[in-house]
Amino acid sequence: MKELKKWMIGLDFTDHDSHLINYTKDLAKAFDPVEIVFVHIMKRNEIPVKFRKTEGPTREDLLIQMEKKVFSAFDEGKNIRCEVHEGTPYFDLWRETHLHHTDLFIVGEKDKQRGRNIVPEKFIKKSFCSVLYVPEVTTPLQTLWVPIDFSEGSKDALHAALQLAKSSTHTRVICHHIFEPPSLDIIEKDLQEEYLNYFRSIAEHKMNEFLVGIDEKEWIDTHFTPWMYAEIADHIIEEAEEKGADLMVMSAGGKSRFSSIFLGSTTSEIIRLEKRIPLLILKKRIDKVKAWDILSNL
């Protein structure tokens, strides 16, 4: 798994900023990042001076406000700084993550009526770094939810969840696998339970093989769901919310070195639909120049 050592947090001067700062502080205890940069992108004022009724706060004013809020939350000694830039929130935050060689970008999840200018699906699709979406209502990290498809990407997600679990007390990691019982609708009703148990046992065997070599099995619980809905994402979200998950950890996926810059359909659906549980999407480190060539030719 790519180490999450350089972090960037997008602030927008709404009430959610304080929550986002405190969440970052708690998360930093587990991952111990070497650098945390808080960034705000102020919209460029394109109205000619003679038509402006009032002057808004300057970059210096906003920077002072941001530093006061951030530095009051963090202990001294951490490599933490604040930056304010002028531009467009989506593009310039994306650009800043590249300029800072960011490993993890953290952003608050708010509805558009309250000022959120970052479209989650759009940002993560182009991002070369991992992204954590934090909704307004979050709880202490006690149940970490990791969808498992037995790929290397899901193993990366599991390792990240276990790293968090080690730093917290009373924390468990749930590995959730959705197995497919083929042609269940043509099986007689009195045999359906036995039929499901047969395929569940196969999934359990695969999970045991997947977990070979994992030393922290005492923190792991497994959960299996038969694939009944059209979208796997619906199963994942329903089960995670029902079990009270406090954080969902997923990989952007892809079996090739470059496919991790793209999102699978399930991951995209979860980003679009899940608004209650913090969501961490991991991306592997890739050559940014080559990745840029790929994206610019789509």
Q: Both 99 and 215 in a single domain?
A: no
Out of 75, 102, 136, a domain closes at: 136
Give the residue numbers spanning the domain of 91: 1-136
The count of structural domains within the chain is: 2
Q: Both 146 and 115 in a single domain?
A: no
pTM: 0.84
Could you report the per-residue pLDDT of 58-92, keeping only the tens digit for each?
Answer: 889 999 999 999 999 987 656 899 999 998 877 88
Q: Both 161 and 257 in a single domain?
A: yes
Window from 5-19, 137-151, 220-234, 269-283 with minimum mean pLDDT: 269-283
Q: Which has the higher per-residue pLDDT, 111 or 84?
A: 84
Whole-number percent of the chain with pLDDT over 90: 42
| pLDDT, the chain, mean | 82
SS (H, E, C) the chain: CCCCCEEEEECCCCCHHHHHHHHHHHHHHHHCCCEEEEEEEEECCCCCHHHCCCCCCCHHHHHHHHHHHHHCCCCCCCCEEEEEEEECHHHHHHHHHHHCCCCEEEEEECCHHHCCCCCHHHHHHHCCCEEEEEECCCCCCCEEEEECCCCHHHHHHHHHHHHHHHCCCCCEEEEEEEECCCCHHHCCHHHHHHHHHHHHHHHHHHHHHHCCCCCCHHHEEEEEEECCCCCHHHHHHHHHHHCCCCEEEEECCCCCCCHHHCCCHHHHHHHHHCCCCCEEEECCCCCHHHHHHHHHCC
Out of 136, 157, 177, a domain closes at: 136
Q: Both 149 and 126 in a single domain?
A: no
pLDDT of 295 strictly over 50: no
Residue 37: CATH number of its domain: 3.40.50.620
* pLDDT score for 112: 45
Window from 54-63, 259-268, 273-282 with minimum mean pLDDT: 259-268
Q: Both 147 and 128 in a single domain?
A: no
Q: Both 125 and 159 in a single domain?
A: no
